[in-house]
Amino acid sequence: MAGADAAAGSTHDAMLECVMLQLRLSDGVQLRRFSDTFGRIKAEQLLCGVQPHVTARRAFLRRDDGTRVSTAEVLRAGDLDVSLCLTDPRGLIVSNDIISDLFLALEAV
């Protein structure tokens, strides 16, 4: 039982580390890869958690061709081939706050 708890904990830690590190890069968090690694539900929780920051223009969702899309479009279409990115400078300045909000969203059961 302890081994299963440790494995779940390390997966959870890896998920949080992925968000923390990749969100600070210009490429952002690639949601398809995130979903493949941690599950579609976690990717959708990430989308829901970032919504207020997208509305406030501190974050955005970008397709590979550079087109920006709304979280509602992504959730409605079910197409996770987008990257979650922070705006420069508004989002980067408050990146710790955004990351904290995303961590809370990922804690949802």
Residue-level pLDDT at 108: 80
Residue-level pLDDT at 1: 44
* Cβ-contact 29, 19 below 8 angstroms: yes
Query: Mean pLDDT in the chain?
Result: 92
The Cα–Cα gap between 52 and 58 comes to 9
pLDDT tens digits, 66-90: 999 999 999 999 899 999 999 999 9
Which tokens sit at 87? 């705006």
* Cβ-contact 38, 11 below 8 angstroms: yes
Q: For the sheet with 82-86, list strands across it.
A: 29-30, 82-86, 59-63, 68-69
> Which runs of consecutive H residues, i.e. helices, occur in 2-89?
2-22, 31-38, 40-55, 71-77
Express as a percent the part of the chain with pLDDT over 90: 87
Average confidence (pLDDT) over 48-61: 97
Average confidence (pLDDT) over 50-65: 96
* CA-based max dimension of the chain: 46
* Residue type for position 44: E
Q: Break the chain into its structural domains and give their ranges.
A: 2-106
Q: Is the peptide bond before 52 cis (omega within 30 degrees of 0)?
A: no
Prediction pTM value: 0.88
Residue-level pLDDT at 95: 96
